Amino acid sequence: MYSPATFEIETPETIDNWRPLVQWLLAIPHVVVLYFLSIAGFIAWVVAWFTTVFTGRLSEEVAGWLAMIYRYQHRVTAYSGFMYEEYPPFDFTRTVDEPGGSPVSVSFQPQYEDRNRLTCALRIFWLIPIAIFGTIIFFAASILWIGAFFVVLFTGRWPEGIWEFVVKALRLNLRVNTYASLLTDQYPPFAIE
Residue 105: strand, helix, or coil: strand
Task: Please tell me the distance from the alpha carbon of residue 173 to that of residue 23, in angstroms, as a whole number.
Answer: 22
pLDDT level of residue 39 (50, 70, 90 thresholds): very high
pLDDT of 2 above 90: no
How high is the mean pLDDT of the chain?
92
Specify the pLDDT at position 3: 79
- pLDDT value at 104 more than 80: yes
Confidence class of residue 191 from pLDDT cuts 50, 70 and 90?
A: confident
Query: Backbone phi, then psi, for 7, in 5-degree steps?
Result: -130, 120
Spell out the domain ranges in the chain: 5-180
Query: Can you say how many angstroms the Cα of residue 175 is from the centroid of all Cα atoms in its chain?
Result: 8
Which residues are CB-neighbours of 164 under 8 A, at least 6 positions away? none
Name the pLDDT band for 12 (thresholds 50, 70, 90).
confident
Q: Are 88 and 77 in contact (CB under 8 A)?
A: no
Give exposure, 63-75, as e/b (b: 16+ Cβ within 10 Å): bbbbbbbbbbbbb
Task: Note the pLDDT of residue 100.
Answer: 84
Tell me which long-range contacts 168-172 makes (C-beta under 8 A, separation of at least 24): 168/137, 168/192, 168/193, 169/137, 169/138, 169/140, 169/141, 170/7, 170/9, 170/74, 170/77, 170/78, 170/141, 171/6, 171/7, 172/134, 172/137, 172/138
Residue 105 φ then ψ, to 5°: -115, 120
pLDDT for the residue 192:
86
Predicted confidence (pLDDT) at residue 11 exceeds the cutoff of 90: no
Q: What is the predicted pLDDT for the residue at 136?
A: 97
Binning pLDDT at 50, 70 and 90, where does residue 13 land? confident
pLDDT in tens, 123-152: 999 999 999 999 999 999 999 999 999 999
pLDDT band at 75 (very low <50, low <70, confident <90, very high): very high
Q: Is the pLDDT of residue 1 over 80?
A: no
61 pLDDT higher than 70: yes
